[in-house]
Structure 1
Amino acid sequence: MPNASFVRRSLLAALAGCAMLGAAAPASAQGVVNVYTNREPGLYSATLDEFTKATGIKVNAIFSEQGLAERIRAEGANSPADVLITVDIGRLQEAVDLGIAQPLQSKELQQNIPAQFRDPDGLWHALSLRARTVYASKDRVTDKAITYEGLADPKWKGKICTRSFQHQYNIALVAAFIVKHGEAKTEEWLRGVKANLAKRPSGGDRDVAKDILAGVCDIGLGNQYYVGLMREGQNADQKKWGEAINVILPTFENGGTHINVSGAVLTKNAPNRENAVKLIEYMTTPEAQRVFADINYEYPVRPGIPVNKLVASFGDLKPDSMTVAELAKMRGKAAELVDKVGVDR
């Protein structure tokens, strides 16, 4: 596989030629689809270009890290947005809660995306999967398997690092814990995890690996794709962080690994609905799914697509059987419990 950072830079450059950033086409235009996304444009540019070649439909993309769902709601019936592509079930559910999503029933999407990774009413569809894993020091941790419940074991006292527990990635994990064990046991678990922290939660997932290398902690929580970005990127320091850790795929007791998603929403007032449906369906084709695997080190949502070799080396992913929609319902309660326990304080 080509150097990942080179490919990513090339895709970013290609975006300028295949998408218009910041200026969507008029709603009356034919043969276009307008995408709002807070995902790095380089992940999609090659796929969008191939979609245009295959269909003749031009893709106009607007990229912003924050506020896209609110923007679509503010634009109302005049919004040019056809598709919102975003990360984390929290942001997908936000689009639903803001009333900017419309149902999409597609036989192709139903065939390509397992039911647990689709909204029951078709209001969002996952495009890729990410696992909430454990980063473990290569030098100081001999454990090969860890459960999420085990993170509260006193054996890890003073040895765990993590980003804020109010961050969407950790909120989703806490929500999944509630689905598995209920609120009372989740609160108890959070108190145990807090007691095991080596430092106040801060930074991002890359910083967890950095702290492990520095000896601040021995294990921490992080999504699997950051390890690929660190190890195969161009930043020399981050390479060291990534190489200092092993990745363990944790499971719930009598369950599987917690999974979050990136996904797509068909907007309520999509002016180019037919083209938008075609694009979302195209994103689940084998060609598009391989981009998620090879460029961003994510797990393809479509079964049968090969996983990136580095990610595959972490072990066989066995997703927990809970639906992503189930954990979406518990996100508010999860945030309340994190605040009640004061995990971030």
Structure 2
Amino acid sequence: MRTFARLPIVLATAVAALASHGTAFAQDKVLNVYSARHYQTDEAMYDTFTKTTGIKINRVDADDAGIVARLKAEGAASPADVILLVDAARMAGADAQGLFQPIKSAKLDAAIPAHLRADATKDGVSWTGFSTRARVVVYDPLRVKAADVATYEQLADPKLKGLVCTRSGSHPYNLSLFATVVERLGDAKGEAWLKGVVDNMARAPKGGDTDQIKAVASGECGIGLTNTYYLARLIKSTKPEDRAVVERVKVIFPNQGTTGTHVNIAGAAVAKHAKNRDNAVAFMEYLASPFAQDYFANGNNEFAAANGVKIDNPALKAMGGDKFKAEQIPLGVVAKNLTKVQQMLDRVGYK
């Protein structure tokens, strides 16, 4: 498997060179994948696709921002066929910049629930989720009652003042959650909720999701927000310090009695200027297969997105991830609400 991972962002001369080789890319039985996923288990997933189809995969590995920047720099000369990004907010942001093209696939329509994909148009669907993760609440049982954090709405309750910790409000993981909360509550109530969360902060937002879990365990915070796979990594860890963190905190899947816990996705899209479009669609359909789902989801301690596919992950089961009610709000609303939510965050001072 050839990778372009060490190549810098394409400069003007390189773009011109790629343009001159565009025909060669199209003629080869290849697929050029730009991926923000960096999990060793993905190698078997890619290898099986190649063995099954004869289509060789060339891969660029970078973070989401690097991939988007590269696509924009390369423009129509880009060799990218498939884009793998993490989080609906990132998928929606790249889509809004015109970096994807819609596709129509009966196999994907049957395999992946509509609420885990971009909104369908007459031209098809521009991006699809292939694994899911839940955004859950971790709390200190010595300071907080489970009943007081049973819903996302309760995070704004004044009784929790000085207890809440999160990463930046503008981080895509939070933006996706906030976009769906605003969709449910409406603009006025949604913004009031965000203001209430800010008022309840134990300290200014900082760090990542693992930092929030550890802050709760250390007593710095009483409540934190995290994606399930961060907690699963700690549960699987054999390090004494990680074991101590897991034993110190409890987890809640919010809104089980109402709308369900917010879930987000890692997903894929066909690049706007894909030279190997048929191969790209075939790969997208492959990602929805039970075999690929196991690698795609389990590689990052996530849940499968495809209908009827169950992932056997002891860490997810340990936190109750095998039986929770998931929110059904279409993730397409994330795209619709992103700008509005960011403006709300600015107004309420959510850093």
With the length of structure 1 as denominator, give the TM-score of the two structures: 0.89
Aligned counterpart, 1:38 = 36
One-letter code aligned to 1:322: I
Aligned counterpart, 1:281 = 285
Alpha carbons of structure 1 residues 57 and 209: separation in structure 2 relative to 1, 3 Å? same
Measure, in 2, the Cα distance between the counterparts of 1:240 and 1:60: 42
Asked if structure 2 preserves the Cα contact closer than 8 Å seen for 1:69 and 1:94, the reply is no
One-letter code aligned to 1:101: F
Asked if structure 2 preserves the Cα contact closer than 8 Å seen for 1:73 and 1:99, the reply is no
Asked if structure 2 preserves the Cα contact closer than 8 Å seen for 1:87 and 1:261, the reply is yes
Aligned counterpart, 1:21 = 4
Aligned counterpart, 2:50 = 52
Q: Is residue 344 of structure 2 the alignment partner of residue 340 of structure 1?
A: no
Q: 2:213 aligns with which of 186, 209, 212?
A: 209
Aligned counterpart, 2:98 = 99
The DSSP-based 3-state class of the residue aligned with 2:25 is coil
Asked if structure 1 preserves the Cα contact closer than 8 Å seen for 2:26 and 2:275, the reply is yes
With the length of structure 2 as denominator, give the TM-score of the two structures: 0.87
Aligned residues: 327
Alignment root-mean-square deviation, CA: 2.0
Aligned counterpart, 2:319 = 314
Shift of 1:63: 0.7
Q: Is residue 302 of structure 2 the alignment partner of residue 298 of structure 1?
A: yes
One-letter code aligned to 2:130: L
Asked if structure 2 preserves the Cα contact closer than 8 Å seen for 1:35 and 1:82, the reply is yes
The DSSP-based 3-state class of the residue aligned with 1:74 is helix
Shift of 1:32: 0.9
Shift of 1:229: 1.4
Asked if structure 1 preserves the Cα contact closer than 8 Å seen for 2:45 and 2:295, the reply is yes
One-letter code aligned to 2:193: W
Q: Is residue 203 of structure 2 the alignment partner of residue 199 of structure 1?
A: yes
Q: 2:140 aligns with which of 133, 137, 141?
A: 137
Shift of 1:188: 1.2
Asked if structure 2 preserves the Cα contact closer than 8 Å seen for 1:152 and 1:196, the reply is yes
Shift of 1:281: 0.8
Alpha carbons of structure 1 residues 235 and 266: separation in structure 2 relative to 1, 3 Å? farther
The DSSP-based 3-state class of the residue aligned with 1:46 is helix
One-letter code aligned to 1:184: A
- Structure 1 runs (4+) deviating above 4 angstroms are 23-26
Measure, in 2, the Cα distance between the counterparts of 1:176 and 1:252: 15
Shift of 1:279: 0.9
Aligned counterpart, 1:113 = 112
Aligned counterpart, 2:10 = none
Structure 2 residue runs without a partner (length 5+): 8-17
Shift of 1:113: 0.2
Q: Is residue 336 of structure 2 the alignment partner of residue 329 of structure 1?
A: yes
The DSSP-based 3-state class of the residue aligned with 2:101 is coil
Alpha carbons of structure 1 residues 327 and 247: separation in structure 2 relative to 1, 3 Å? same
One-letter code aligned to 2:349: G
Measure, in 1, the Cα distance between the counterparts of 2:297 and 2:240: 23
Q: Is residue 106 of structure 2 the alignment partner of residue 123 of structure 1?
A: no
The DSSP-based 3-state class of the residue aligned with 1:67 is helix
